Structure 1
Amino acid sequence: MTTPRRLPDPYGGPSSGASLADILERVLDKGVVIAGDIRINLLDIELLTVKLRLIVASVDKAKEMGIDWWESDPALSSGARRDELTRENAELRARLERLEASYGEAQIEGAHGRRESP
Structure 2
Amino acid sequence: MATGQPATTPGGGGSPALGNHQPANLGDILERVLDKGLVIAGDIRVNLLDIELLTIKLRLVIASLETAREVGINWWESDPWLSGDTTRLQRENRELRARVEELEGAEDRAVIEDRHRD
TM-score by structure 1 length?
Answer: 0.61
Match of 2:112 in 1: none
Taking the aligned partners of 2:11 and 2:93, their CA distance within structure 1 comes to 62
- Aligned CA distance change for structure 1 residues 60 and 15 (closer, same or farther; 3 Å): closer
Question: What residue in structure 1 maps to residue 84 of structure 2?
Answer: 78
For the structure 1 residues 87 and 6, does the alpha-carbon distance in structure 2 shift closer, same or farther, using more than 3 Å as the test?
same
Alpha carbons 1:37, 1:50 under 8 Å: kept: yes
From 63, 71, 95, give the equivalent of 2:69.
63
The equivalent position to 1:6 in structure 2, one of 11, 14, 23, is: 11
- Alpha-carbon RMSD across the aligned residues, in angstroms, is 3.1
Q: Give distance in 1, aligned partners of 2:79 and 2:14.
A: 44
**TM-score computed with the length of structure 2 as normaliser:** 0.61
- Any idea what SS the aligned residue of 2:80 has? coil
Structure 1 residues without counterparts, runs of 5 or longer: 103-118
Q: CA deviation at 1:59?
A: 0.8
Letter in 2 for 1:95: A
Other structure's SS at 1:40 match: strand
SS at structure 2 position matched to 1:46: strand
| Cα distance in structure 2, aligned partners of 1:52 and 1:38 | 8
Structure 1 position 40 matched with structure 2 position 43: no
What corresponds to 1:24 in structure 2? 30
Q: Which residue of 2 aligns with 1:95?
A: 98
Per-residue CA shift, 1:25-51, capped at 9, x if unaligned? 110010000000011111110011010
Aligned-partner Cα distance in 2 for 1:55–1:63: 12
Unmatched runs of 5 consecutive residues or more in structure 2 = 1-9, 106-118
